[in-house]
Structure 1
Amino acid sequence: MERRIFDPRAGLWLLVAANIIAFRPHTLWLELALVGLLLLLMAAHGKYSMAVKWAVGYCALLRFQQYILPASPKIIATSFTVFTTYARRMFPCLMTGSLMLKCTPLRYFIVGLRQLRVPQRLIVAVSVTLRYFPAIREEMGYIRDAMKLRDVRGLARLEGTVIPLMVSATETAEELSAAAVTRGIEDPAPKTSAVFLRLSPVDLAGMAAGLVLLALSFVVQ
């Protein structure tokens, strides 16, 4: 089955719109509409299990805020109200970021940034950073397997994880930087790419719906 690519330009636009809506006064139905839009985009890109997980998480958070907190003791309600409110507002931003991570390969993301005329220095920083964290996660898996193989436990396990990870983090950063330079990523000449980006009807519809919701956030409060 062909992998469905989420266009990075649509993702960045929805991410900006979601952040603006999140930090503006808005009604609950507008937030529900934005969450519903992102769930539809996840389903349209074949990420059904992801859509179900995010939907369950949002519904649980909403139920906790509207039903459980009001019935809780005052000290608990006061302590968790602000946290749950901001967590719920940030939910669409996290959903958009998750969809981009799962459906936008790094090479497509870089091509999208170039088409948006993003400065090359920023593209270099973003590309190296996005390659860095998966490499560190893979290295942590190797270290964890080594600890299990040697049956290391307690504080020795913590020491045996942190120190190799710190050394590996430095080496990984140097290797990624050297690899990027070797590939000519700092060359100021115009870049070419083997992949071609084109906004699909689904991405265009998502961008249009995001624009409508953003406009409504300034009109309906």
Structure 2
Amino acid sequence: MFKMLRALVVSASIACGLAASAAMAAPQTVYEFAPTERTATPYNDGILASITVAAPTDITAVAQRTLASTSVNVKFLVVNTTTNTVLYSSAAKTFPSDGGTPSFKQSDDFAPITLLPGNTYAIGLVSEQPQSLYYQNAAPPVQNGISMVGFSNAFPYANPAVTGVNPGLGFTLKLVYEEPPVSVPTLSEWSMILLGLLMAGAAALHLQRRRRLIV
């Protein structure tokens, strides 16, 4: 019986370890566009990428590639411009100076947002300090059914709102999806104590039976 309980505990530990490994799946980039042309983004303003999707697409983080000469505060937005609905508006996030090399400024992870066909979405950041944002003079190729259809302006920084959709330019954008963490069952402190007592009792019973057989 003791051997059986020990085997069960070992099996449970292995199962929990596997479940924990499954819960730590790496984030996936579902869309990334990093053009090389750049334009000065006005102070207290943002230029968001406007996109459509061919199939339902889940995202959990967004980013835009910028060049900041000083430390900058930004807010991230995901807005359904078809229904004029704000799907995500972040708190301020601070990024250090880029030191001459542009970088993707990425939001914190948020609860999955599903982008749906038939809608246009404006996605990107609004900056409190001036910085350069990257673009190209044409829409980029379609990636994973995601098409860029232009850009939208967003301002002011304090309470940003999106205005319109302007066709023709492709602005930098990254969309990320990460599986939500899987709930891994664990034992409470009292459950651990109870399990220890059961194992100790089983061991004592096993030893007592062995002594009887020897006698």
TM-score by shorter chain over 0.5: no
Structure-1-length-normalised TM-score: 0.23
| Higher-strand-fraction structure | 2
| Higher-helix-fraction structure | 1
Which structure is higher in RCO with an 8 Å CA cutoff and minimum separation 6?
A: 1
Larger radius of gyration: 2
